[in-house]
A and B are shown apart, each in its own frame.
Chain A
Amino acid sequence: MSPAKTTSNTEDYLRMFRQMVRIRAFEENANQLYLSAKMPGLTHMYSGQEAVAVGICEALTPSDKITSTHRGHGHCVAKGAAFREMFCELLGKEEGYCRGKGGSMHIADQSNGNLGANAIVGGSMGIATGSALRAKMQGSDDVTVCFFGDGATAQGLMYEVMNMAALWTLPVIYACENNGYSEYTRTDEIAAGDILARAQAFGIEAHRVDGQDVLAVNKLATDLVERCRKGEGPFFLELTTYRYHGHHVGDINREYYRPKDEEAHWKSERDPITILQDWLVAEGIASKDELDAVQKDIRAEAAAAVEYALAAPYPDVAEVDMHVFTDIPHATEARI
């Protein structure tokens, strides 16, 4: 934890703390909804990786774009989404961000520049690059961040679009969240060589950063975002991090690919929220009691949003064939 304490930054630090706690609180509730069979389908927990989403998204404005992944709740919260609409989406309710048509794997607050969570591993890399092409063509200074996991680095699409982004100097940042596991397989079993070198091969400037240190992530992201705005993109980031849960909420018995003491170590020694909390207290920015109160308020807010979403109505059945096309109100009407 390096940045010096200044009054202008104090609010930024506290907001990053709040945002990380919000992600954690959201995921705890999502996990409980799954375990108590109140949530349809399943979901992929972001807990443990909060500093990545928050550190980067705090460097962005609402007009900057992101693309997200199947493990996307954290990006969604960090880009400014509200609990109610998120829980409604998680439960397939009409008030959800996607009117219940996306669910956990496609949750996104589009109004804040989130171009969607993608359930195809690596599927959003073209979209992020295209968004950056649009920014350049329009002369807009917004930046697009493409979140993806270490598993997605095996997809060919990544290399096709990094090639184009480098050729056309597009304002895009490829943010690889390396949590060490590609679904149920250790990443070092599926990734040859150095991940950074893959971007460097295209002449793309690449950085590795501790993904548990939100201030370090934020500092680097702020720097790269500004450089992107000046036309110096693209950039590549590898953020070393860790997911506390399995690949998804149902991936409980996972010792065959990941030891329990490794998980315990990351939770006790490398937790991004604890690290920032300790620093805030040590720097005298906030007391432990104040931060506990923040956590309590956020958890209460999350609990209330869950209650609201559980009681909220499902979409009308007439919605089933709406939104297939923009200009055909009900796509299957003529065929019934």
Chain B
Amino acid sequence: MPLDVIMPALGMAQDSGVIVAWHKRPGDEVAEGDVLFEVETDKATMEVEAAGAGFLADVTAAEGQDVPVGEVIARIADVAGAVPAPSVEDVEPAPPGAPEEPQIQETPEEPDAPGAVPDGHRVIMPVLGMAQDSGLLVVWLVEPGAKVAADDPLFEVETDKSTMEVPAGADGYLAALLAEPGDEVPTGETIAILTEAPVAEPMRRGAAAAPVPAVHADAPAAPEPAPEPAAAIAKSADAEFPRPRAAPVVDGRILASPKARRLALEAGIDLAVIARSGTRPPIHAADVEGFLTRRGSGGATRVLTAEVSSDTFDAFAAWAATEAGLTDPAALLAGFAAAALGRETAIVAVERGPTIASYAVTGRALSEVTRTDAAVPDLILRDVRDLGLAQVALGAAAHPVISLGTSGGRIVLTLECADPAMTAPDCLHLLSELAGRLREPLRHLL
């Protein structure tokens, strides 16, 4: 066995040494303990002895050369004559102490065999509500790779109404997680795979990574897109920050950075308005700035008016009071307005003189309109009919405002909207829908 001659680490903070002189020539016979060469470190020159006997060969470092600590600079061969020079790949890695060579096996970025989604029982995002087309995955209740029974709760899902636990639906091993907490997953889409046999390395990725076709998709024969390599679960040692998740509203608060809040406050913009404009909270400074820019370029406040006869609504209100016990006409207006907005749920504030009543609309049925203390409305109805005013346009506010005036037995509706979240067609739709409901209240019930 030839012995490697290595540039030794001689100082405490030394990472290279200069060969001052070789004391042996290539081919020379050396005995263990013979001085082989002299090396200069930052402070001193020292002699380096041969670690074994043999013949000096393959000298790769010349006198005067600065050689990194740990590098092979020659060999001591068993026999006189040439020993094949080591190729670059054969050079030993730097020994511990060489700071630039961490000896860590990183998890490979791209493993040789990309993990394919394993075959097995497909767990899908279930349809849990009446008009639900997606569910928010809240949390996985089972560790990847773990064994589950059909009745074991497997994950928690949040719909518009509630959060519920969903059982696995089959016995097996949780071989793949195809959605992450926080993902909004269309119903029917596969979010996990249960296999009959345990798997060594369960797969885990987010729903956006590579959607597995929904079970009810009608093209099962189509080739599946090549799945992305699975990210090793243990890749990040840092569990402090989970992957981003949507956290739109917590305890009724819209999440926003301190700077975003300050900018919004300075601009007089309600964060709820920005959130409705399509920005998914948390809202950052750039979102506020973008909103202000859009509003600035979007320019003017939209003002639309409509007129309808007041008779039909008055008759409808009287009918609703006697037949359905719905005695608050303002609540009826709020219900119509929310529906006109195209929302199942909305907060509508009804202003009448100095009093403001907020209504939470939670469904299409007018019995689902209730008084609320919620501060941020989606829409304001400003009823000035008692004041005998016909048409008022008091300037845009942070929320769309529809004023209800009166003129010759007719209700005059004026929509003012500075909200860049509402496009011109949105505004037209809103006002025409509301006017239509006031004209024909039964239309709402249908």
A–B: direct contact at CB < 8 Å:
no
- Chain A: residues with CB nearer than 8 A to chain B? none
- Chain B: residues with CB nearer than 8 A to chain A? none
